[in-house]
C-alpha cells in the first residue's frame, strides 16, 4: 500500500505571506509597550519591525484580503492573525480588551491610531513646549541630552525641516 504525495506549494520568502520559523504567536516585536500615552514612541518601532518582516502592508491597508476563492486567502488569514497577536503582545495588559475582537490587523491599527495618536498640531506644540521647558536640574549631561534628543527627533518626524536646495557660491 503506497502513500500519495501531495503537491505542497511553498510561499516565496519575499512574499508578504511568508512566515519564518522564528515568527511565533508569543513574539514580542518591540520592548516598548503601548500604554495609551506613548503612541508615537510605540508606533515607529512597530512599523519598522513590520516593514522588516514584510508585513507593514497588512496594517497600512496596502495588502487587502483576497477573495475566499483565491489560494492566497488562507495565507492572508494566517498572516493577519499572527500580526494581530504581535500587536496584542505589544500592548499594556490594560489595553488588551480594546482589540480582542478585531477581525483584521488593519482594523486594530486604525483603532489604536484613532484612540491614542494626537493630532499633529497639538503634539508639535506640546513637543516644542517640552523642549523650551526642559532643564538639566541635576541630571547628568547624558541623561539631559538623551531626553532633549528624543524630543528633537520626534519633532523632526512630525514637522521636518525643509530641504535646502541652495547652491554654495
pTM, full prediction? 0.69
- pLDDT, one tens digit per residue, over 82-138 is 999 999 999 999 999 999 889 999 999 999 998 888 777 888 899 999 999 999 999
Q: How far is CA 113 from CA 28, 43, 110, 138, in A?
A: 20, 9, 5, 36
Q: Is the pLDDT of residue 7 over 50?
A: no
The mean pLDDT value of the chain amounts to: 86
Q: Output Rg (C-alpha) for the chain, integer angstroms.
A: 21
pLDDT attached to residue 158: 79
CA 78 to chain centre: 18
pLDDT attached to residue 149: 96
Tell me the H-state helices in the chain: 39-52, 56-60, 72-89, 96-99, 105-116, 120-133, 141-158
How much is the average pLDDT of 157-168? 81
pLDDT attached to residue 87: 95
pLDDT attached to residue 17: 72
How much is the average pLDDT of 17-21? 70
pLDDT band, very low/low/confident/very high, at 13 (cuts 50, 70, 90) = low
Which residues 6+ apart lie within 8 Å of 41 measured at CB? 32, 154
Is 74 in a helix, a strand, or coil?
helix
Name the nearest CA neighbour of 82 among 42, 109, 55: 55
- Lowest mean per-residue pLDDT among 6-10, 54-58, 145-149, 153-157: 6-10
108 burial (CB, 10 Å; 0-12 / 13-18 / 19+) is buried
How much is the average pLDDT of 51-59? 92
Buried b (16+ CB within 10 A) or exposed e, 3-23: eeeeeeeeeeeeebbbbeeee
First to last CA, the chain: 85
Amino acid at each position: 500500500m503506497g502513500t500519495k504525495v501531495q503537491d505542497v506549494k511553498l510561499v516565496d520568502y519575499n512574499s508578504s505571506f511568508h512566515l519564518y520559523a522564528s515568527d511565533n504567536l508569543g513574539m514580542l516585536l518591540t520592548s516598548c509597550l503601548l500604554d495609551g500615552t506613548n503612541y508615537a514612541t510605540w508606533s515607529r518601532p512597530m512599523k519598522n519591525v513590520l516593514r522588516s518582516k514584510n508585513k507593514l502592508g497588512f496594517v497600512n491597508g496596502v495588502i487587502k484580503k483576497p477573495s475566499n476563492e483565491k489560494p492566497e486567502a488562507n495565507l492572508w488569514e494566517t498572516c493577519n492573525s499572527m500580526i494581530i497577536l504581535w500587536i496584542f503582545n505589544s500592548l499594556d495588559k490594560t489595553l488588551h480588551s480594546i482589540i480582542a475582537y478585531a477581525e483584521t490587523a488593519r482594523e486594530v491599527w486604525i483603532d489604536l491610531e484613532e484612540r491614542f495618536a494626537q493630532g499633529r498640531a497639538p503634539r508639535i506644540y506640546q513637543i516644542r513646549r517640552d523642549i523650551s521647558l526642559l532643564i538639566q536640574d541635576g541630571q547628568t549631561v547624558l541623561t539631559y541630552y538623551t531626553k532633549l534628543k528624543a524630543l528633537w527627533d520626534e519633532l523632526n518626524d512630525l514637522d521636518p525641516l525643509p530641504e535646502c536646495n541652495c547652491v554654495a557660491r
